[in-house]
Structure 1
């Protein structure tokens, strides 16, 4: 049974908890409409402080998850998994709590915020004295109490349950703990005001500095320079570091201080590894001391709005499948500016990582957007970025690099053939993963289907799917205007199966076919030629619109990663949690099987069953309900 005051009063409200800010906002609007100005409105100040505190935590979240900047400074090398993200989902509860406490205080004594000067030097000295003399030791002893018996198991264990520290971890605590923390924060502010030294800079600045230092300690990224402590040794007792606080989460009987290790020193709870570990991490900062990944998935951004679906933007949003949301409209201008900066910077960057059976898997992203792949003048530049990523992976000792969607476009680089031919001595294996993509699509098709309609029929995937289905004696209506390309594919099949290939040039030819395999984007008008009850299988990015209510639509070819994956905390585009595109999964299978060949260019139809069975053997699972659970 949970302890009293362990749950938040608005825990069951979900997103509707933000309606509790409604009275504050209503008061602001009322003051503006009735009095014609915001002067003297303490509600407005409270709302601004709340927004500033939330923004501060968001900026820290962005920094911590910018792995391309912080990977050499990370303390704990694990990733943030979905379990931790969900546990810290309501990290901002404390902001709402303190806003309500401030509202009550200001309602009782309105001049608390509005009738004070902007700056007061004596107030600055006073609040510093109160913080050091009261808040720091008070927090220290309360914190130690929460590490004992009942208080720890019923309250503080929630905070310590997060395996990897994050700025949101510092805010993730029970209601009772945040009531105590609110007291710690409130004493210096109220005390300086009661002494007559209050100012707006204190009311705004102290909570923000407090939050900044809390985020610093929970950031899992060592940013405090060693030179600072070497030049001024006494500072190590006045300011803690991320390394210092991380030791509290590994050795819970030490390093209890709020921000100042001085109190741990005088009460003999200072971890004796604190300074040496900080020295080691700081000395290694800037060096590429990270574990070399075994596998790299080279992704790309689809469009400006989907670029916001990244862990370093909004962690909670990235942990869910991508969907167009209203807030993206407000983020779009800043995302567009970042896009322009990426074009200028023009470097492949690390987006996320996870561990699978002791092997590190990383996702790198090419700084190019989907529409750029279709610009003729951009072809050379994009291939240059992909080539640089492959060569970088080769230098690092990466075993497999898998190319996502447009990065292996046939017209762009021949499905990766360009790079393999140009660099014949590559140690890293280049994999387009389309063999598993074809296997997933083919396993979606029921065995009793005798006819399919195939768009994108002469692409790598279209060719392999057509050849495979012909061997199952399935009639394939191949939509293509190129008779030459059609006949070339048809002649690859044994003579006895060639009659199952049928060239069509219009969508009207599929009016009686209920199985469509879409490899080229089709409009709602083109979908209208499908008969009622048609199922649209697809391997086109982005996926087609679900226009027909009398038809069904399959997801993009994908597979669920094995259950023992660790540190995975973001969704891959529109995929569900733990699900990746089949081409990504194809690279994973290539690594787990230890295959040493490149998988580029045309698909080997004879390997489709081999790759599919290997995927199932290693615990990868199909995600479509229509997929058969056994080998073809």
Structure 2
């Protein structure tokens, strides 16, 4: 093996180990935990000078700073003769865009792997605070572009660089291996002195569970020093007349690659590389190598090449064993709950956890920045339709139970198509059987994955697989409970409008049982159905009318704005659909779609579920979790509905709280 295990190694992650070894290391793990808490408590306790980036107040308008340089570069390229054009200057903008795309691909790939891979290194929870802190990961790319423009302007040798220069590329490699790695090692150790750590470096170490972009999250002053270090190979090669476009761009891509790989929180470096070339162990670090630095703080300081940690005895003793265990993979806890959702609008793919991290951490709103990538959106629609298969989006934990969210790669508009009905049903059925095979106890159907026309609210899958043990939940009981508890006290009459579904029928029955009149607008079929289902003494509580005078409206999908305009001022709109109204009136009250605030113990929730706020999940997703927590051995699909009081009491017992637009998250 390339990484032999040390006899006295101490595991720093959550991978499975022999019980005796766990007991022996318990006291040391407790000491490490206390040190970790102490280190984190020092975070930015005394922010130093130049902590904030110069353009931090500009928000996304920071890209405007590049406009004069880009305009000047393009003007020169267009107006000069071909032999006088400066390609290095002109290609700075395309290179910036390439690095932005490259970084985003790393984010998506890393999140995809950590949601499904057994090679995760640290299993602690990722939270919204970290996502917000790492939102400005593109600052360093903007700074690089600005410095490239400045260097090109002030250094004549940096103008009209050739595409390739072998001597210059060798010089860059040697200067990185020598001065850069050495100076970084000692600068990094200095940053862990209390004075500098509390003022600067603690901002980076606030992230215990690292993502690729964690690597570039630093205060401005610290990041600027790194830029000076990385300039050591580039500037001398240019001044010596050996600079080249490939040399400069290639070195920066190398820095990006090693930075992102080292912070991706899953082991991806294959063991055979070290078997073929054993010295590579000292020339290239691994994600598990650097993860120790983020969990223990006082070890593994090297930049990309660990040989200085070995020389100065700062390489942690568990480095090799952690690499081996991470590469082998952990024994995952059995997933008990799977929530099956799907894509909604054309741009919703960018709101997934695998898409834009900062966008996914907020309720989905179709903004200008998403319209800019619309051509890519339509291309992804085609690709998901041709090649798409259900994939794992998110992995959560609550009360020692593991749960996952899976995505059917189909958009809302495709669920309306009769041609897609068969394909979608096959994807859903395969997901159910896959969940059954992996040992899941409950699968909840979200959004359009349930419906009368599509699958009889999930009942079709039970009919086709009668021996199936997994329980299918459509969430009708909990959704109904949330809608009923949203109706203001003292209400005697409600208006039911919008597309009818199983939940609408059930709500109408319960409301009539509670002696609240249900007014149907042009729903003669529902009116006649309820008349047949109800005892004689309750039939007077369901009315068929064309009056819109009710103060409380229960609204389903396909609610038209023209219907809303018929409501009186101050009407209370309460959706019973999974999708909110597309347009709203400012003089009326609108409730959220049925949803619940998750307990604080609900882990690893760092993206928003569609249009819902942070730490709020849909009633249909919550219903599956509660079903599993209670160990109910019945399906809730087809004609079956869980008792409202039963599921409501269970939800509150486990710490879930009803969400309204006035809720404090």
Match of 1:599 among 632, 636, 647: 636
1:141 Cα deviation after fit? 1.0
RMSD over equivalenced CA pairs, Å: 2.3
Q: Tell me, in whole angstroms, the C-alpha distance in 2 between the residues paired with 1:231 and 1:207.
A: 27
Q: Tell me, in whole angstroms, the C-alpha distance in 2 between the residues paired with 1:626 and 1:249.
A: 38
Are 1:82 and 2:91 counterparts?
Answer: no
* Residues 112 and 74 of structure 1, relative CA distance in 2, 3 Å threshold: farther
Whether the 8 Å contact between 1:123 and 1:199 is mirrored in structure 2 is: yes
Provide the residue aligned with 1:151 in structure 2. Answer: 196
Q: Tell me, in whole angstroms, the C-alpha distance in 1 between the residues paired with 2:219 and 2:496.
A: 56
Match of 1:188 among 233, 253, 259: 233
- Matched residue of 1:556: which SS? coil
Q: Tell me, in whole angstroms, the C-alpha distance in 2 between the residues paired with 1:439 and 1:592.
A: 18
* Residues 377 and 457 of structure 1, relative CA distance in 2, 3 Å threshold: closer
Q: Deviations over 1:286-339 (max 9, x none)?
A: xx9533222111001113211221121211111111111112223232233333
**Which range moves more in the overlay, 524-533 or 163-172?**
524-533
Q: Tell me, in whole angstroms, the C-alpha distance in 2 between the residues paired with 1:540 and 1:13.
A: 39
- Matched residue of 1:503: which SS? strand
Q: Tell me, in whole angstroms, the C-alpha distance in 1 between the residues paired with 2:500 and 2:304.
A: 64
Aligned counterparts, 1:75-474, within 5 A: 75-109=121-155, 111-284=156-329, 289-456=331-498, 459-474=501-516
1:431 Cα deviation after fit? 0.8
1:81 Cα deviation after fit? 1.6
1:423 Cα deviation after fit? 2.4
Provide the residue aligned with 2:660 in structure 1. Answer: 624
Q: Tell me, in whole angstroms, the C-alpha distance in 2 between the residues paired with 1:396 and 1:540.
A: 31
**Which range moves more in the overlay, 568-577 or 470-479?**
470-479
TM-score (norm 1): 0.92
Aligned counterparts, 1:582-593, within 5 A: 582-593=619-630
Counting matched residue pairs gives 617
Provide the residue aligned with 2:540 in structure 1. Answer: 499
Whether the 8 Å contact between 2:161 and 2:245 is mirrored in structure 1 is: yes
Whether the 8 Å contact between 1:27 and 1:43 is mirrored in structure 2 is: no
Provide the residue aligned with 2:61 in structure 1. Answer: 16
Are 1:572 and 2:609 counterparts?
Answer: yes
Provide the residue aligned with 2:561 in structure 1. Answer: 524
1:497 Cα deviation after fit? 1.4
Match of 2:93 among 47, 66, 71: 47
Whether the 8 Å contact between 1:444 and 1:626 is mirrored in structure 2 is: no
Q: Tell me, in whole angstroms, the C-alpha distance in 1 between the residues paired with 2:504 and 2:116.
A: 42
Q: Tell me, in whole angstroms, the C-alpha distance in 2 between the residues paired with 1:186 and 1:70.
A: 38
Whether the 8 Å contact between 1:139 and 1:184 is mirrored in structure 2 is: yes
1:480 Cα deviation after fit? 4.8
Are 1:63 and 2:63 counterparts?
Answer: no
* Residues 378 and 104 of structure 1, relative CA distance in 2, 3 Å threshold: closer
Q: Tell me, in whole angstroms, the C-alpha distance in 1 between the residues paired with 2:559 and 2:514.
A: 26
Q: Deviations over 1:382-435 (max 9, x none)?
A: 222111111111111112211102111122111111222332332222111111
**Which range moves more in the overlay, 542-551 or 263-272?**
542-551
* Residues 338 and 470 of structure 1, relative CA distance in 2, 3 Å threshold: same
Whether the 8 Å contact between 1:240 and 1:259 is mirrored in structure 2 is: yes
* Residues 528 and 36 of structure 1, relative CA distance in 2, 3 Å threshold: farther
Whether the 8 Å contact between 2:578 and 2:594 is mirrored in structure 1 is: no
* Residues 584 and 112 of structure 1, relative CA distance in 2, 3 Å threshold: farther
Whether the 8 Å contact between 1:480 and 1:486 is mirrored in structure 2 is: no
1:580 Cα deviation after fit? 1.1
- Matched residue of 2:267: which SS? coil
1:625 Cα deviation after fit? 5.1
* Residues 382 and 236 of structure 1, relative CA distance in 2, 3 Å threshold: same
* Residues 274 and 383 of structure 1, relative CA distance in 2, 3 Å threshold: same
Q: Deviations over 1:114-139 (max 9, x none)?
A: 32211111111111111111111111
- Matched residue of 2:59: which SS? helix
Provide the residue aligned with 2:70 in structure 1. Answer: 25
- Matched residue of 1:599: which SS? coil
1:33 Cα deviation after fit? 6.9
Q: Deviations over 1:231-266 (max 9, x none)?
A: 111112111111111122122222111111122222
1:603 Cα deviation after fit? 5.3
Provide the residue aligned with 2:50 in structure 1. Answer: 5
Q: Tell me, in whole angstroms, the C-alpha distance in 1 between the residues paired with 2:427 and 2:71.
A: 52
Whether the 8 Å contact between 1:106 and 1:113 is mirrored in structure 2 is: yes
Provide the residue aligned with 1:630 in structure 2. Answer: none
* Residues 413 and 348 of structure 1, relative CA distance in 2, 3 Å threshold: same
Q: Deviations over 1:168-193 (max 9, x none)?
A: 11001122221221111100000111
**Which range moves more in the overlay, 28-37 or 560-569?**
28-37
* Residues 521 and 603 of structure 1, relative CA distance in 2, 3 Å threshold: farther
1:69 Cα deviation after fit? 8.1
1:547 Cα deviation after fit? 4.3
Match of 2:597 among 560, 584, 602: 560
- Matched residue of 1:341: which SS? helix
Are 1:535 and 2:572 counterparts?
Answer: yes
Q: Tell me, in whole angstroms, the C-alpha distance in 2 between the residues paired with 1:162 and 1:615.
A: 32
